[in-house]
């Protein structure tokens, strides 16, 4: 029995509506993808702007969270574009698409932040370092060093800072390993690099190599470098030539008789020569000078030695210029 014409027309209209809806859906997908891509490019550019200035080198979970937040916003606008293009009602399918796009954009954004966009400084370690919160500074440096996108210059600076922290912690081998790793990333060595190398080598017991590095530091400045010279004398005193150490520190003190680290090193050399009265005299003078100048503030190793000798020889002055008993870090190598 033939169907009524009205039924055929109704079915045809329903089919046309379905085809139109499908066309709108198909048309909406490229628009959604275009919206998401544009948002991702914006995310990438903003991240690059921040990271090139070293202002966002947070741990990877924070990178992922930031990428997920911006990715979620991007996906939300993409899904809205899709919904208004297709004129569909919001459904669970839209929610699933939004979640899927958010996950993809978050993953891509976090990967880009961690791997491709250069990080130029490990800035988060600076505040705890200046506050002498060594463990916190070390954690921040290690988190930053894990990023493949860290520039060679920034990686070298971070390794150099971690070397100083390890030295303060008494880890001579670790400090030397970090220093040598930093040098491999540098195109050339400065006098300070040679001087720090000499210090770390002495702390590791590699005296001949320490003397060679300290000599290189002085050659590169074309004369006597105060830091390198007193570190050289310290190496000589420890390695069996305290007479030369006394001679060199006496010459250095003739130019600046208030340079406390030189007095400490000469006192150690006198001890090695079994001349304790002279050693005690140098330590007493160094201890008295701590109230008058700040040349010991940056040298935690010399400060620690001076504190120990003050207790051994029962010296009366107790001020040690804010050193707080820190260990194993020399004065700034820039001192001439």
Q: What share of the chain is helix, strand, coil (3-state, %, to 5)?
A: 75, 0, 25
For 150, list phi and psi in degrees, rounded to 5. Answer: -65, 130
Cβ–Cβ under 8 Å, residues 179 and 197: yes
Q: Is the pLDDT of residue 73 over 90?
A: no
Query: Residue 151: helix, strand or coil by DSSP?
Result: coil
For 48, list phi and psi in degrees, rounded to 5. Answer: -65, -40
Q: What is the pLDDT of residues 76-123, one digit of tens each?
A: 766 666 666 666 676 777 677 777 777 776 776 666 666 666 677 788
Between CA 50 and CA 120 the distance in angstroms is: 10
Q: What is the pLDDT of residues 100-113, one digit of tens each?
A: 777 776 776 666 66
Q: In terms of Cα–Cα distance, which of 334, 336, 331, 335 is closest to 199?
A: 331
Q: What is the pLDDT of residues 188-223, one digit of tens each?
A: 889 999 999 999 999 999 999 999 999 999 998 887
Residue 150 pairs with which residues in a beta bridge?
119
CATH number for 227-336 (one of 3.20.20, 1.25.40, 1.10.1760, 1.10.860): it is 1.25.40
Integer-rounded Cα radius of gyration of the chain:
33
Residue 119 pairs with which residues in a beta bridge?
150
For residue 35, how many C-alpha atoms fall within 13 Å in the half-sphere facing its CB? 22
Query: Residue 186: helix, strand or coil by DSSP?
Result: coil
Where along the chain do the CATH 1.25.40 domains lie?
227-336
Q: Give the confidence band of 124 by pLDDT, cuts at 50, 70, 90.
A: confident
């Amino acid at each position: 029995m033939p169907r009524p014409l009205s039924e055929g027309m109704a079915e045809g209209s329903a089919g046309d509506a379905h085809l139109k809806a499908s066309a709108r859906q198909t048309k909406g997908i490229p628009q959604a993808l275009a919206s998401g891509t544009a948002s991702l490019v914006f995310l990438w550019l903003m991240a690059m702007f921040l990271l090139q200035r070293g202002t966002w080198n947070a741990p990877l979970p924070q990178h992922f969270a930031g990428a997920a937040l911006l990715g979620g916003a991007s996906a939300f606008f993409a899904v809205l574009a899709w919904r208004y293009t297709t004129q569909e009602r919001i459904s669970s399918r839209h929610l699933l698409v939004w979640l899927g796009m958010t996950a993809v954009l978050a993953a891509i954004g976090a990967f880009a932040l961690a791997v491709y966009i250069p990080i130029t400084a490990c800035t988060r370690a600076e505040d705890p370092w200046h506050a002498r919160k060594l463990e916190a500074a070390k954690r921040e440096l290690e988190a930053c060093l894990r990023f493949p996108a860290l520039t060679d210059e920034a990686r070298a600076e971070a390794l150099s800072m971690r070397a100083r922290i390890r030295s303060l912690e008494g880890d001579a081998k670790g400090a030397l390993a970090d220093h040598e790793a930093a040098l491999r990333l540098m195109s050339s060595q400065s006098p300070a690099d040679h001087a720090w190398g000499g210090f770390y080598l002495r702390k590791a017991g590699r005296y001949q190599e320490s003397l060679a590095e300290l000599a290189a530091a002085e050659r590169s400045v074309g004369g006597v470098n105060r830091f390198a010279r007193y570190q050289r004398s310290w190496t000589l005193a420890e390695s069996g030539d305290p007479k030369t150490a006394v001679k060199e520190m006496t010459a250095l003190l003739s130019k600046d008789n208030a340079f406390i680290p030189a007095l400490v090193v000469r006192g150690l050399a006198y001890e090695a020569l079994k001349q304790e009265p002279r050693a005690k005299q140098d330590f007493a003078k160094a201890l008295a000078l701590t109230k008058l100048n700040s040349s010991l503030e940056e040298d935690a190793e010399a400060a620690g030695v001076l504190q120990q000798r003050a207790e051994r020889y029962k010296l009366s002055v107790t001020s040690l210029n804010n050193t707080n008993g820190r260990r194993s870090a020399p004065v700034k190598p820039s001192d001439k």
